[in-house]
A and B are shown apart, each in its own frame.
Chain A
Amino acid sequence: MFSYARRDLLRNPRRTLASLVGVVLGVALFSGVLFFIDGSGASMTKRAIAPVAIDMQRVLTSPLGEGIRLEQRLAGRGPLRQGERASMQLTVRNRGLTPANEVVVNDKLPPTLTYVRGSAERDGTPLPDPAGQSPFAHGPGLIGLNIGTVAPGATVRLTYTVRVRRPIPAGPDLHLGATISTREKIVPDPANLPHPVPLDRLRDRIAALPGVAQANQLAFADLPPGSLAASGSKIGRPTKLFGFEPAYARQYPAIRLVRGGFRPGAALLSSEAARGLGVRPRDQVRLTVPGARRPARLRVSGIADLSRARQLFNSRTGGKLEDFLYLPDSIVISPQDFQRIAIPAFRRAIAARGSALAVKSPPTLEVDVQVDRSPLNSDPGRALAQTSAVAKGIKRIAPTQDFLLDNISNTLTVARADAAGAKRMFIFLGLPGLLLAGFLATYAGSILAASARREQANLRLRGAGPRHLNRILAYRTLILAGAGSLLGTAAGFVSILAILGASSLFEAAPTQLGASALIAIGADLVATGLALYIPGRLALRREVSGERRELAIGTQPAWRRWRLDYAALIGAGVGAAVALRNGAFDAPSGAVSTGEAISLPSHLLLLPLGVWFAGTLLSVRAFEGVARNLPLSPPPRFGPIVAGILSRTLSRRSHSLITGIVGVGLVIAFGIGLAMFASTYNRAKTADAQFTVGSSLRITPSPASTKPHPAAFARRLKVAGVTSATPVVGSLENAFLRSRFNSDVKDLAAIDVPSFAATAALKDDFFPGSTASKALAALRAHPAGILLDVGSAEALKLGVGDMAELLLARGSRRQRLRTVTVVGLFDRFPGFPDGLHVVANLGYFQRQTGIRKVDFFLARTQDRSAAGVTAAAKAVQAGPGARDRLSVDTTETTFNKDQSSLTALNIRGLVDLDSFYTLAISAAVIAMFVFGLMLQRRREYVVLRAQGLRARRLHLLILGEAAFVAASGLLAGAIVGAALGLLLVHVLKPLFILPPVTTLPWGDAALLAALLVSATLFSVLVALSVLRRLSPSEVLREQ
């Protein structure tokens, strides 16, 4: 039986090819998606961790040395018998510089011990038992004993007696659990904490751990204005003091030495501080640290641009870890100098003020760890396991004296979730390939049913029973599905190799690729096997004599009879309504710092799938209705020959068109939906990038630049490819706003309205109840007007037309308090993705403060494509940037900085893959339809020829029917594809900052339509050539 099936397939190559082509294309699409997931997922680790500034930070909780500590011991610790008594000793020592207030000692006994009433003493003085309970664990909350204030250097000894309830062997099995807390340190410390390890030893032990590439000390402290001075000048703003080794500076390129070098014993100044003091290398500066007896004199060894050093300025506060809190005036010394100069001074300051809380910003000491990234697995999940193991090792060293910020693991946690989300999304985008493979296999089977059944009838006549026929069918199915799956998987692999390139694809582990290949082959074997076997099995049950009737009249497809299209569409509609009602489409966005990924509601991807399938079937039902009701020439007229025959065949055999229209419709809907999704996705990505940058380019003068950058500098930025440029003043907490009800520190931007309107990526949506042009016109019309963000307006109870007091240039010597009027509201402002509170007129700001310098410039390029933006950025660097220090951020560099979010994925490759196979499958469907027509109707065509129908008219008949199917499928596909695209965009909304604007891909749709028309014409031409070669006498005698 097997050899019969094999020979049958080999000796009917055209039939075998027709059955295989659809399977191969569908399988190639599905397997290609799986390989794409492997290839793109493999680059996610690299991409995700690229922007991580510091992999891990071990931050000391007590940088100024030990404070209060508790020691606990059970006197005479040895084996204890039941009923025996022992003395528990608790010793409180304050090793700090200031008194510890409200010191509470808590000791909850393990179940093996009980407190002996009346045994508690403090320094030999008995302590009362509250309500007969231990004073160290009493009341419903088992609260401890408050021993009041413990002076620096003082010791308090507390004792009580315990009775043993169960025998206790000697050794460390008994867990003593006393804790101590103070008003200054609310979180309780356990007793018997190990003594803190000094920072340099901690660094050495961490550096020796496997998986750690580098470990460096970093110390920093915020100093008040006036802390940094040189002969005759002083920095009037808050200053940042850093302590790190030259190796640290070498490790992080964002710390850019502008002049001189960095030597231990000397100081490195930020460009702004050096300019403010007017000092150069070799000059001397004076550093005054709170609590210091006298200023430290330091020689300047170099000047550095620290304005991009996220390692130094990123917030260390939980929940704000991604905030870049830059202070322009900084001084860097070695960790040894920091220990020598800063730590004792701060300790003295705290001692003098009597409380650690009195010093607003105590120093921070940490070890910054760089993980060895080279052995990290390409899969984010596996890489996470590796970095978590490193983190675990670091935490084991001297625990409890600090906490670990594991930035790289947080990022990889997000990347792992993103990779999983991407896999779900991609599998959804590949699933139609599998369904189409099954559909095409069934379609080919139904087309070839006539010839297959004739052969089966012959076999029956020769004595083959149902079992034999079933076995032949099973073998044929196995061979076709197996060959189709193998060939399709190979084609999918080659396609991805071409799209991603060998370097990206082979980033994935060979086992992963092998697993994907096996999944693809297995899933496709099942899907296409069932699609080939079940219809074949059903066909075997039918009598051969039924063939004629089926060809002539046919029966309605099962989905029509059971109204599956209505049912599925209602299901999808109800699902969408429920999801909308429950806000499932509005999933919250995540934060890399907390390891939270964007919550993509991927289960909702089933909705587009339902709409795709059911929508196509429903629209095909509609087209069939149109065909059935085509106007026919009423008797006694037959009508024009071609129109008369065509209208009758379309009208009366519309069901025979259904499968063709369904096939074309499904493929076109998928293609258009995907193209719409992709173009919307890419546009949304670009819009987000433009919003983040502010326009196409953002030019920030380096603090190291010695050249002036007034507002007029914008004119110099209009280089080739740049159409407009605008100056912007904007920094964090540079303003203070006060209304009649409230006041708050605010972030203010001052803009030149006309050039900003021409340059910035403004959208009307940013201005609730107004438009961008109206809001900016209002600001321009009122020099003392401001635009206020909606949140601030609510907090300060301010509305449009209200007046408020605004402190401009807050914290500088030029700060000015002015009365302003709110002229508009906004909820987002381009160039300030982290939020902005106040927008003022640049001219007004400059007049009031006298400040001429601006913070950055935005520039709009003529060509917004990646190439255009990059070329313009190069032109800026080559022009005004040639003899100046300018940082140019573009929409493209913003994409690269994008953390592991799903928006960073190379969806273009996937779209290329899907588009290619969409085109190929749609061409295959229409070709199969045309050749199906030829197979089923060739006798009709030959009879028409015998009756004298001109060849040209016969061609028109075939073309007309194929064109009807192609056009109906195209229209149905376009309608359903638009709905599919809309739903996909809706599901992926949480990925973007700005709400994505649905984009209709006219070009892609036109290409699809053109290809479908070409495929139709080509198929018809080939079919006609086959028809011409047919022998009429043979065809007419066929039974």
Chain B
Amino acid sequence: MSRGSSVSLLGVYKHFQTDAGPVQAVNGIGIEVAPGASVAITGPSGCGKSTLLSLIGALERPSRGRVQIGEVAVSKLDETDRAAIRRELIGFVFQSDNLQPFLTAVENVSLQLALSGADDGYERSLTLLDALGLGGAAGKYPDQLSGGERQRVAVARALVHRPALILADEPTGALDVDNSSVVADLLREAQAEVGATLIVITHDPAVAAGLDRQIALSDGRVTADSKPALSGAVDAAPHAGEVAGGV
């Protein structure tokens, strides 16, 4: 049975204030992702993909609109509750591994469990690393690992607490072809195994093609969706009363 969460974005806007003036990073996006689905978000640089992922991942709150993971409207939560959502429901994989440099591979992974209050995650982390072919690297620091190994540790960190939603921001962007393939396969397999919903931002058509659904963005708007659901209705204009607190 799938334990993945549905993801729902309703008329979501995000703008930033910069020295050069306001920038509209996300411009009225509406997306519905079914639980356990895998979605690729593509688009040119600066089209708002990463911002969209931050909004879905409850790292940021939209300027307007509603972001919902499962039954929880995360866009309405304060930082403390969003932090709880992130550590309980979400697993992040970034383009750079973003491992903590002062922690060993296994500590990087078990930290995620420790954040959730489970202080016995060492064995689980070791097992997972072992399963990912990193058994020998568990005690090594990130700078002692290769780029591919580091990214696999990052994947392990994103999966170890069995999240309902895995968010990956160009996870293969910094890797060579071989490692890209390994990491992409890993994400898909892991998603399949834990039944999580997977949303991947990628420039790599091969990675995108391997997922259930592909959404293309441009200028903060959805320009193409291989399986559109609510997009058309919500892209046009946000519903009144669905405005979340701004930043």
Which A residues fall within an 8 A CB radius of B? 548-549, 551-553, 635-639, 641, 644-645, 648-649, 652-653, 939-940, 943-951, 1031-1034, 1036-1039
Contacts and interface: CB of A to CB of B under 8 A. Distances in A.
Nearest to A954: B83
Nearest to B144: A553
A1034 B54 CA distance: 10
A641 B115 contact: yes
Interface of B: 16, 50-51, 53-54, 57, 59-60, 79-80, 83-88, 90, 92, 94-96, 98, 100-103, 106-107, 110-116, 119-123, 141-143, 157, 169
A549 B150 CA distance: 14
5 contacts: A552-B142, A638-B107, A638-B122, A949-B115, A1034-B50
Contact of B92 (A551, A946, A1037): A946
Given A1032-B59, A1033-B60, A552 B143 contact: yes
Contacts of B54: 1031-1033
Nearest to B111: A638
A636 B119 CA distance: 8
Contacts of A943: 92, 94, 98, 100
Contacts of B87: 947-949
Nearest to B95: A1037
A1034 B88 CA distance: 23
A462 to B, nearest CB: 19
Nearest to B154: A943
B83 A648 contact: no
B101 A940 contact: yes
A1039 B96 CA distance: 7
Given A637-B122, A946-B59, A648 B86 contact: no
B122 A636 contact: yes
Given A553-B101, A1031-B60, A947 B115 contact: yes
Contact of A549 (B53, B84, B114, B143): B143
Contact of B86 (A652, A947, A1038): A947
Given A948-B86, A951-B80, 19 more contacts: A549-B143, A552-B101, A552-B102, A553-B143, A636-B110, A638-B119, A645-B111, A939-B98, A940-B98, A943-B92, A944-B100, A945-B83, A947-B112, A948-B84, A949-B87, A950-B80, A1031-B54, A1034-B50, A1037-B50
A653 B57 contact: no
Contact of B111 (A549, A652, A947): A947
Contacts of B51: 1033
Contact of A951 (B83, B88, B157): B83
Most A-side CB within 10 Å, residue of B50, B83, B112, B142: B83
A949 B114 CA distance: 10
Contacts, number: 112
Given A940-B101, A948-B83, A1031 B115 contact: no
A1024 to B, nearest CB: 12
B16 to A, nearest CB: 7
A1030 to B, nearest CB: 10
Contacts of A944: 100
B50 A1033 contact: yes
Contacts of A645: 100, 111
A648 B102 contact: yes
A757 B114 CA distance: 71
B107 A1032 contact: no
A653 B141 CA distance: 12
Determine which residue in B16, B54, B157 has the highest number of CB atoms from chain A within 10 A of its CB, and name it.
B54
Given A549-B143, A1033-B59, A648 B112 contact: no
Contacts of B107: 638, 648
Contact of A636 (B79, B101, B115, B123): B123
A636 B123 CA distance: 7
A951 B79 contact: yes
Nearest to B139: A635
Contact of A947 (B60, B80, B92): B92
A1031 B16 contact: yes
Contacts of B111: 638, 644-645, 947
A940 B115 contact: no
A1034 B86 CA distance: 18
Nearest to B121: A638
A171 B157 CA distance: 113
A636 B113 CA distance: 12
Contacts of B92: 943, 946-947
Give the 4 A-B CB pairs with smallest separation, nearest first.
A948-B87, A636-B122, A552-B101, A638-B114
Contacts of A939: 98
B155 to A, nearest CB: 14
Contacts of B90: 948
B160 to A, nearest CB: 11
A548 B145 CA distance: 13
Contacts of B95: 1036-1037
Contact of B120 (A636, A1032, A1037): A636
Nearest to B16: A1031
Nearest to B115: A948
Contacts of A951: 79-80, 83
B114 A950 contact: no
Q: Most A CB atoms within 10 A — which of B88, B94, B102, B169? A: B102
Given A636-B123, A948-B115, A551 B60 contact: no
B151 to A, nearest CB: 14
A1036 B93 CA distance: 10
A313 B146 CA distance: 93
A956 to B, nearest CB: 14
A1033 B102 contact: no
A639 B119 contact: yes
Most chain B CB within 10 A, of A644, A1033, A1039, is at: A1033
Contacts of B100: 645, 940, 943-944
Contacts of A1038: 96
Contacts of A947: 86-87, 92, 111-112, 115, 157
Nearest to B86: A948
Contacts of B121: 636, 638
Nearest to B106: A635
B119 A653 contact: no
B50 to A, nearest CB: 4
B110 A638 contact: yes
Contact of B102 (A549, A649, A949): A649
A638 B111 CA distance: 7
A414 B177 CA distance: 84
A945 B98 CA distance: 12
B80 A548 contact: no
A1033 B98 CA distance: 12
Given A943-B100, A948-B88, A1032 B114 contact: no
A946 B60 contact: no
A901 to B, nearest CB: 57
Contacts of B88: 948
Nearest to B85: A948
B90 to A, nearest CB: 8
Nearest to A553: B143
A637 B119 contact: yes
B122 A635 contact: yes
A652 B102 contact: yes
A772 B98 CA distance: 73
B87 to A, nearest CB: 2
A1032 B169 contact: no
A943 B115 CA distance: 12
A641 B119 CA distance: 9
Nearest to A649: B102
Max chain B C-beta neighbours (<10 A), residue from A636, A637, A949:
A636
B120 A1036 contact: no
A637 B120 CA distance: 6
A950 B83 CA distance: 6
A334 to B, nearest CB: 91
Contact of B114 (A552, A553, A641): A641
Contacts of A653: 101-102
Contacts of A635: 106, 122
B129 to A, nearest CB: 13
